[in-house]
C-alpha cells in the first residue's frame, strides 16, 4: 500500500468520530473531531494539560473529543532488573520534561507504574459516566504519578485516587474497568496508536519533542501526545509538544476556516470552579492571572504548587488513607518488587 493509499484509507479515529457526529442532530453537530493519543503516565501529556484545557474550552461543542490510550507501559513488558533504578530513571526523565512544560512533579516517584493499562482501563470506563466525569477521572489518574508520586496502577489504588470525583459512581467504574468490553476497547486503542499516519514517520523538527513516531517493539507508534483534527477542511496532525496557537490553527483548518482563533479564558475563580485543580501554567494560560483565588487550597509539589478547589481538597483528604495504604511500607529508597 502506498502512502497515498494509507492516507485515503478511513482510519479508526475518523470512523468512530463520524459515527458519533452522524448520530447527533445536524444543528448540534461538531465542526471538527479531535483524536488525542495519550497515556496517564506520560509527562509530555501531563505537561500539555493547560493547552488542551484551553483548546477544549475554546472549541466547546464545536468539537468532538476522543481520547485514545497508547499504553506506554504494558502488562506483558519484561520486568525491570532493578525496579528502584528504573524508578529513578523515570523520575529524572519527568524532571527533564518539566524543564520545558513547567508542570508540577512529585518530590519523589515512589515507583515506576507497574503498567499504565489499569489506569487507561479506568479512564476508558469512566467515559460511560459522561465526558466531564471521564476528564476528571483521567486528571486524578495523571496526578497520582505527577503530584503524589504513587501511580494508580492497581484497582485499590485507582479506587483511592478517584474517590470523591463529582458525579462518579466508583463501584460502577471498578466493575466496568474489569469488563471484557473495556479491555477490548483499550486494546483497540493500543493498536490504533501503533498505526501512525505517514506524516509522522521519520518526522524531525525543532523543539524538545517534535512528535515523530516512536519505535515500540515491533511497531511504530504515535508520539504522546498527538492530536488529529478531522473535519470538512481535511485532516491536520499536531504531534508532540506544541504552542497553543498551533492547535487552534489546526482546529480552524480542519473545520474549513469556520472556527475563531481567539482563545477563550475565564476569571481565576471560574476556572477553579470548572476544573477544581489548577497548576501554575494552567492558572497563567487559562485565566491570564498570576494569583490563585483566595479560597484555593495550595498543594506544594516537587516543582511549583497545585491549586485545589476547597471541595476538591476535602474530597482528596477523604481518599488520602487509600493513597497512603498503597505506598505503606515503601521507604524513600525502595519500590515494590516486580514493578517495571
Four-residue CA torsion sign, 300, 302, 307, 309: negative
CB 126 within 8 A of CB 134: yes
Q: Does the model's pTM come out above 0.85?
A: yes
Query: Which residue is it, cell 470552579?
Result: 273
CB 57 within 8 A of CB 266: yes
Strand partners, 277: 308
Residues in the chain, total: 340
Q: What is the mean pLDDT of residues 305-324?
A: 78
pLDDT in tens, 101-120: 999 999 999 999 999 999 99
Neighbouring C-beta atoms of residue 138, cutoff 10 Å:
24
**DSSP-derived 3-state class of residue 267:** coil
- Cα 218 to Cα 70: distance, rounded to the nearest angstrom: 15
Q: How confident is the model at residue 259 (pLDDT cuts 50, 70, 90)?
A: confident
Q: How confident is the model at residue 28 (pLDDT cuts 50, 70, 90)?
A: low
Q: Does residue 340 surpass a pLDDT of 90?
A: no
CB 101 within 8 A of CB 46: yes
User: Residues 300, 301, 304, CA angle at the centre, nearest 5°?
Assistant: 80
pLDDT in tens, 209-240: 999 999 988 899 999 999 999 999 999 999 99
Q: What is the mean pLDDT of residues 303-309?
A: 97
**DSSP-derived 3-state class of residue 197:** coil
CA-closest candidate to residue 221, choices 32, 56, 37, 24? 37
pLDDT of 301 reads 96
Q: Does residue 100 surpass a pLDDT of 50?
A: yes
Q: What percent of the chain has pLDDT over 90?
A: 77
Query: Which residue is it, cell 472556527?
Result: 259
Q: Does residue 14 surpass a pLDDT of 60?
A: no
* DSSP letter for each residue of 6-71: HHHS--HHHHHHHHHHHTS-GGG--SEEEEEEE-TT-HHHHHTHHHHHHHHHHHGGGEEEEEEE--
Q: What is the mean pLDDT of residues 311-332?
A: 59
* DSSP letter for each residue of 71-88: -SS-TTSPPPSSHHHHHH
Amino acid at each position: 500500500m502506498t502512502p497515498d493509499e494509507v492516507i485515503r484509507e478511513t482510519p479508526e479515529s475518523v470512523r468512530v468520530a463520524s459515527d458519533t457526529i452522524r448520530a447527533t442532530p445536524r444543528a448540534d453537530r461538531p465542526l471538527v473531531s479531535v483524536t488525542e493519543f495519550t497515556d496517564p503516565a506520560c509527562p509530555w501529556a501531563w505537561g500539555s494539560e493547560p493547552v488542551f484545557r484551553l483548546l477544549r474550552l475554546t472549541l466547546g461543542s464545536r468539537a468532538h473529543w476522543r481520547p485514545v490510550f497508547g499504553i506506554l507501559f504494558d502488562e506483558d513488558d519484561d520486568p525491570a532488573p532493578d525496579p528502584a533504578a528504573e524508578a529513578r530513571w523515570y523520575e529524572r526523565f519527568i524532571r527533564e520534561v518539566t524543564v520545558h512544560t513547567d508542570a508540577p512533579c512529585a518530590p519523589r516517584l515512589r515507583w515506576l507504574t507497574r503498567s499504565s493499562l489499569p489506569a487507561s482501563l479506568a479512564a476508558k470506563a469512566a467515559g460511560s459516566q459522561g465526558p466531564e466525569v471521564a476528564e476528571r477521572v483521567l486528571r486524578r489518574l495523571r496526578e497520582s504519578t505527577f503530584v503524589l508520586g504513587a501511580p494508580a496502577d492497581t484497582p485499590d489504588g485507582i479506587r483511592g485516587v478517584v474517590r470523591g470525583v463529582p458525579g462518579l459512581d466508583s463501584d460502577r467504574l471498578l466493575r466496568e474497568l474489569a469488563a471484557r468490553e473495556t479491555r477490548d476497547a483499550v486494546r483497540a486503542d493500543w493498536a490504533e496508536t501503533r498505526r501512525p499516519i505517514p506524516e509522522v514517520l521519520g518526522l524531525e523538527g525543532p523543539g524538545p519533542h517534535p512528535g515523530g513516531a516512536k519505535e515500540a517493539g515491533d511497531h511504530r507508534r504515535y508520539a504522546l501526545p498527538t492530536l488529529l483534527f478531522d473535519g470538512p477542511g481535511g485532516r491536520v496532525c499536531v504531534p508532540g509538544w506544541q504552542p497553543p496557537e498551533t492547535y487552534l490553527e489546526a482546529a480552524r483548518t480542519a473545520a474549513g476556516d469556520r472556527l475563531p482563533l481567539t482563545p477563550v479564558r475565564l476569571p481565576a475563580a471560574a476556572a477553579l470552579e470548572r476544573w477544581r485543580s489548577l497548576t501554575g501554567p494552567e492558572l497563567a494560560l487559562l485565566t491570564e492571572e498570576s494569583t490563585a483565588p483566595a479560597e484555593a487550597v495550595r498543594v506544594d509539589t516537587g516543582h511549583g504548587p497545585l491549586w485545589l478547589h476547597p471541595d476538591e481538597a476535602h474530597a482528596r483528604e477523604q481518599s488520602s488513607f487509600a493513597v497512603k495504604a498503597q505506598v505503606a511500607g515503601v521507604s524513600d529508597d525502595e519500590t515494590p518488587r516486580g514493578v517495571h
